[in-house]
Structure 1
Amino acid sequence: MRKNNQVYVISLIIVIGFSLLGIVSPKRFGNIANNVFSFLTEKFGWFYLIAMFFFVVFVLILALSKYGKIKLGDDDSKPEYSYISWFAMLFSAGMGIGLVFWGVAEPLNHFLSPVGLDAGTQEAANFSILSSFIHWGIHPWAAYTVIAMPLAYMQFRKKKPALISSIFIPILGEERVKGPIGKFIDILAIFATVSGVATSLGLGVLQINGGLNYLFGVPINNLTQIIIIVTVTVLFMISAITGLNKGILILSNANIILAAILMVLTLLLGPTLAIVNMFTNSIGAFLSGFVRESFLINSFSENNWLGTWRIFYWAWWIAWAPFVGSFIARISKGRTIKEFILGVSLVPALGSFLWFAIFGTTAMNLGTEIAAEAVQVTETAFFVVMEHIPFGSIISFVTILLLSTFFITSADSATFVLGMMSRNGSLYPKTRIKVTWGAIQSIMAFALMFSGGLKALQTSSIVAAFPFAMVMIIGAFSFLKALRKEDIKE
């Protein structure tokens, strides 16, 4: 095995091995993954909470420090992309299908099962949107930033390979990073990326099929889902072959336009005043309760809701950090550290706040009866709600288009990142490598969806995120060590 192929080959073997286990024995695979995850959330829930809050504090302090003026690149380097295109690409990679999948379903779940409150009340509605703001707001983007920022710094300013392991050069040295420790970190990052993206692709197929069924009566079955996944795979392969500056850039801009159209239509056709009031109230609740919510955990009783929702999300965002962080780093050359942190942490969080306030409030405004009907099947919850507002069919159609473009950009971004990770950090991975990873992702999603192992794969990737959280914390201090060597002019 050639030395520069080791990470690629070992990663392929591990990913295919896990997939086969999930296909051949999904129940056993799921039981093992669920048991390990239950142990981690029960015994180490506090660790996830502290780690995520640390990421937020670390990046915000860094943005306001003297290091904020340092560029992620040479001192005279300029950004490759406009602000709008930059935001569009990082938002598409960072949230993508998840926002559409959970934009209605999550608020309704909290609305019907609030912690310590009566279901269907104003207090339950407030709890619902605040919880969604916490889960999809600054915390996940701070986690992405902790990986993306030092990675961009090392690859563009220090001219090191675009690998997660490069972040550790300041504390381990270049030779050690090239050895088993560095390879282990890069393989772990690849496994988390493939598992996370394959799961999201599977969920995306289910939701697209659900939307087509609601709009056009297209049957929900294996054949339809095969046609969807094959069609979208061909499209994202074409996008991957055309490269970063064409396929991903164009589709990401399309995502932002479609998402904006969806939000404006729903805001105007839905309960506009209630949406504005809920957004205003929830922003206030978010700001005043941010620290409390970040550390919320029960000392003497079970943490069922926390484990099911918050800690699950924290682990999921950490699992996604190597993929999203690597992609954001690749498109952020020339930004200052301050500009990067504020742009990556705050702007996308505001987009998520608007999304959940608009769609969550619209859904809850229909009452508990429709809410209960909608949450029965998560992938069709959005479409059930849209049936009950004016021009809901048009909104649902736009949503299917958005799901498709999010699907393509997520898979496309992932193939690009996996190509970089598995080929020694090349900023321009070969088409053959990208196509290989793209095919593997789609086949995994396809096979696991039909075997019932999709959920198990998601859980296993989250289990892998536990050691990666420690990797991220150490990486933050490694980055700080590198910054201290900078000659900063006051």
Structure 2
Amino acid sequence: MNSPQDKAPASGLGKFGDPVVLGLSGGFVILFVLLSLVNIEGVEGAISVGFAWTAAVLGSYFQLLLLLTFFIAIGLAISPAASAKVGGLESPELSTFKWLSIIMCTLLAGGGVFFAAGEPVYHFVVTPPAFDSEAGTVEAIAGALAQSFMHWGFLAWAVLGSLTAIVLAYWHYDRGLPLQPRTLLYPVLGERLMRSWLGGVVDACCVIAVVAGTVGPIGFLATQVSFGLHELFGLSSGYATQLVILVVLGALYVTSAATGIHRGIQLLSRINVFLALAIAAVIFIFGPTLFLTNAYLQGFGEYISSFFTMATMTSETAPDWWMQWWTVFFFAWFIGYGPLMAIFVARISRGRTIRQMILAVAVMAPIATTVWFTLLGGAGIHYQLTGVIDLAEALNNFQFDVATLTVAQALPGGTLMALAILLLTTIFVATTGDSMSYAIAVVCTGHDRPHTAVRIFWGITMSLMAAILLYMGAGQISVLQQFIVITAIPVSLVLLPSLWLGPQAAYAMAREQGLTTRKKVMTHE
């Protein structure tokens, strides 16, 4: 068996990475910032047009890709091949708690915490198109939670690290190919892709999607925390405060990424999990316990019974703006993260079985996410319903930073809870920053022990980009988030072959470990 750690990367990369990947991805960052400085309106207009076209024309394709990924992964999890172990290790590198902590914190990340309070309340005050209940009534609660579960549940998580992680794990650990997105296409396009400029373009597209997807939460966190500090302590919420927050956040996750998975990344994830569990316990015990319990049961039941109705909603049955800014936007965001998250999942899952990896990512983590959304968002719905807060106007203007803080202050503990949730959101975004800095460095260098300087470079780059865009105006980060939907087009094509290559890779692993005698069908071996 080849050992990628001892072998030179297959694509002939230097110490600091593939010049094509570095040039294209770094060039994108510079070009986006320069064009924004020269002609902000022009950049906004072009991306807005591309965003609307992508959502309208390819939205159904994105939805179908997520549906197929989830159901094929679940089918694979109950197959004989699922007993195969990832990475050729008899026992896992990480304990189960550490492993699950990293998965939860990296994949749920700041976005999940940022939207957990506001999204369920938004769907409560603006009825989603899949339901016909009257907005703001008791009957609207189940549909509001169900719609949030759809966006952050089984489909979203499955595309982040199930089939793709299996393909990468097999071709990296068993065949010695680099941990890069191009490896997902190797069984289809062969060795030429690994060593050509086209492989660099594939990797760069995936890096750009992740940079766009990560800079958004970093920037929005700065606005959210500065708003929170202003509301709680009267501090200025201006750019200077946001810049200080970015410097502290950047220092936190750059240090974490530099120390690696077994130190910084793992430590941040564990702190985050304990803090999240403490916050969850306080909300459940001292908050509207019976309401939250009933809301979760009804919401999850509605999620299951209306699953296909919500998952297959199109612009024919829902308003264009709603599809663009909700289902298609979120699904495209997760697709954009897909290849690099899969690299991360494959890297931390050595010694785990395929079944454990799929169930952790595509089943257990989504269920934990629905509980978290019910605690924060369900509490928000309760306070909205009883008149304690009124978020209708703020949420109709998509002011989710206001929603998070307002719900937090209404929770038991008031100001202390608000501070705890702001801290939690900060660490969640930091875990995204450090894991993505690490994953991008892996892509650039082609192996899973990237040079520390490369990790630091990408961590600093994302913070700087967020700082520049915030200086131009928070609207530029919104533009960058719209760009995420456009980047999902090439990335989806990288993910697509995993629908059949995932099961093939699993059976190849199982066959080599003596667990199945299924006929060999892999190509380019």
Report the TM-score, using the length of structure 1 for normalisation: 0.95
Question: Quick one: structure 1 residues 24 and 84, their matched pair in 2 at CA, closer, same or farther if it must change by over 3 Å?
Answer: farther
SS in 1 for 2:91: coil
1:36 corresponds to which residue? 50
Which segment is superposed worse, 300-309 or 193-202? 300-309
> Deviation per CA, 1:240-290, whole angstroms, max 9, x where unpaired?
222221111000001111111111111122211000001111121122222
Confirm or deny: 8 A CA contact 2:184 2:497 kept in the other structure: no
Confirm or deny: 8 A CA contact 1:205 1:229 kept in the other structure: yes
Which amino acid letter does the alignment assign opposite residue 412 of structure 2? P
> Deviation per CA, 1:342-361, whole angstroms, max 9, x where unpaired?
01111110111111111112
Mapping of residues 462-473 of structure 1, within 5 Å: 462-473=485-496
Confirm or deny: 8 A CA contact 1:162 1:427 kept in the other structure: yes
Question: Quick one: structure 1 residues 19 and 77, their matched pair in 2 at CA, closer, same or farther if it must change by over 3 Å?
Answer: farther
Mapping of residues 297-316 of structure 1, within 5 Å: 297=314, 299=316, 302-316=319-333
1:129 corresponds to which residue? 145
SS in 2 for 1:220: coil
Deviation beyond 6 Å, 4+ runs, structure 1: none
Alignment partners' CA distance in 1, 2:33 and 2:72: 36
Alignment partners' CA distance in 2, 1:242 and 1:471: 30
Alignment partners' CA distance in 2, 1:430 and 1:177: 21
1:441 corresponds to which residue? 462
1:93 counterpart = 2:106 = yes
2:273 corresponds to which residue? 256
> Deviation per CA, 1:407-444, whole angstroms, max 9, x where unpaired?
22111111111111111x22111111111111110011
Confirm or deny: 8 A CA contact 2:442 2:450 kept in the other structure: yes
1:169 corresponds to which residue? 186
1:272 corresponds to which residue? 289
Confirm or deny: 8 A CA contact 1:386 1:396 kept in the other structure: yes
Aligned mate of 2:214, from 183, 187, 197: 197
- Deviation of 1:374 (Å): 5.1
1:72 counterpart = 2:86 = yes
Confirm or deny: 8 A CA contact 1:111 1:364 kept in the other structure: yes
2:447 corresponds to which residue? 426
Alignment partners' CA distance in 2, 1:473 and 1:86: 27
1:20 counterpart = 2:43 = no
> Deviation per CA, 1:47-70, whole angstroms, max 9, x where unpaired?
122111111112111111222112
Which segment is superposed worse, 398-407 or 268-277? 398-407
Mapping of residues 317-336 of structure 1, within 5 Å: 317-336=334-353
Alignment partners' CA distance in 2, 1:321 and 1:374: 31
Alignment partners' CA distance in 1, 2:278 and 2:112: 15
Aligned mate of 2:264, from 199, 224, 247: 247
1:294 corresponds to which residue? 311
SS in 1 for 2:178: coil
Question: Quick one: structure 1 residues 232 and 70, their matched pair in 2 at CA, closer, same or farther if it must change by over 3 Å?
Answer: same
Alignment partners' CA distance in 2, 1:301 and 1:82: 45
Alignment partners' CA distance in 1, 2:36 and 2:504: 41
Mapping of residues 105-120 of structure 1, within 5 Å: 105-114=118-127, 115=129, 116-120=132-136
- Deviation of 1:484 (Å): 4.9
> Deviation per CA, 1:212-232, whole angstroms, max 9, x where unpaired?
222222221001001111112
Question: Quick one: structure 1 residues 483 and 181, their matched pair in 2 at CA, closer, same or farther if it must change by over 3 Å?
Answer: farther
Which amino acid letter does the alignment assign opposite residue 442 of structure 1? S
| % same residue | 27
Alignment partners' CA distance in 1, 2:142 and 2:506: 42
- Deviation of 1:467 (Å): 2.4
Question: Quick one: structure 1 residues 98 and 485, their matched pair in 2 at CA, closer, same or farther if it must change by over 3 Å?
Answer: closer
Aligned mate of 1:82, from 95, 112, 115: 95
Aligned mate of 2:224, from 204, 207, 229: 207
1:370 corresponds to which residue? 390
Question: Quick one: structure 1 residues 275 and 35, their matched pair in 2 at CA, closer, same or farther if it must change by over 3 Å?
Answer: same
- Deviation of 1:300 (Å): 6.5
Which amino acid letter does the alignment assign opposite residue 469 of structure 1? S
Which amino acid letter does the alignment assign opposite residue 111 of structure 2? G
Aligned mate of 1:9, from 10, 20, 23: 23
Which amino acid letter does the alignment assign opposite residue 159 of structure 1? G
1:224 counterpart = 2:241 = yes
Confirm or deny: 8 A CA contact 1:170 1:481 kept in the other structure: no
Structure 2 segments unaligned to the other structure (5+ residues): 1-12, 517-525
1:454 counterpart = 2:477 = yes
Confirm or deny: 8 A CA contact 1:374 1:384 kept in the other structure: no
2:364 corresponds to which residue? 347
1:380 corresponds to which residue? 402
1:489 counterpart = 2:511 = no
Alignment partners' CA distance in 2, 1:249 and 1:68: 26
Question: Quick one: structure 1 residues 483 and 389, their matched pair in 2 at CA, closer, same or farther if it must change by over 3 Å?
Answer: closer
Which amino acid letter does the alignment assign opposite residue 158 of structure 2? A
Question: Quick one: structure 1 residues 271 and 170, their matched pair in 2 at CA, closer, same or farther if it must change by over 3 Å?
Answer: same
> Deviation per CA, 1:372-408, whole angstroms, max 9, x where unpaired?
2553531121211232333111111111221221122
Alignment partners' CA distance in 1, 2:316 and 2:463: 42
- Deviation of 1:177 (Å): 2.7
- Deviation of 1:159 (Å): 2.1
- Deviation of 1:485 (Å): 4.4
Which amino acid letter does the alignment assign opposite residue 456 of structure 2? V
- Deviation of 1:298 (Å): 5.1
Aligned mate of 1:357, from 374, 377, 385: 374
- Deviation of 1:149 (Å): 2.5
Alignment partners' CA distance in 2, 1:125 and 1:300: 21
Confirm or deny: 8 A CA contact 2:56 2:315 kept in the other structure: no
Confirm or deny: 8 A CA contact 1:22 1:457 kept in the other structure: no
Alignment partners' CA distance in 1, 2:163 and 2:32: 28
Which segment is superposed worse, 177-186 or 248-257? 177-186
2:6 corresponds to which residue? none
Report the TM-score, using the length of structure 2 for normalisation: 0.88
Alignment partners' CA distance in 2, 1:94 and 1:205: 20
Question: Quick one: structure 1 residues 6 and 392, their matched pair in 2 at CA, closer, same or farther if it must change by over 3 Å?
Answer: same
Which amino acid letter does the alignment assign opposite residue 243 of structure 1? G
- Deviation of 1:237 (Å): 2.1
1:57 counterpart = 2:71 = yes
Confirm or deny: 8 A CA contact 1:141 1:345 kept in the other structure: yes
Which amino acid letter does the alignment assign opposite residue 498 of structure 2? G
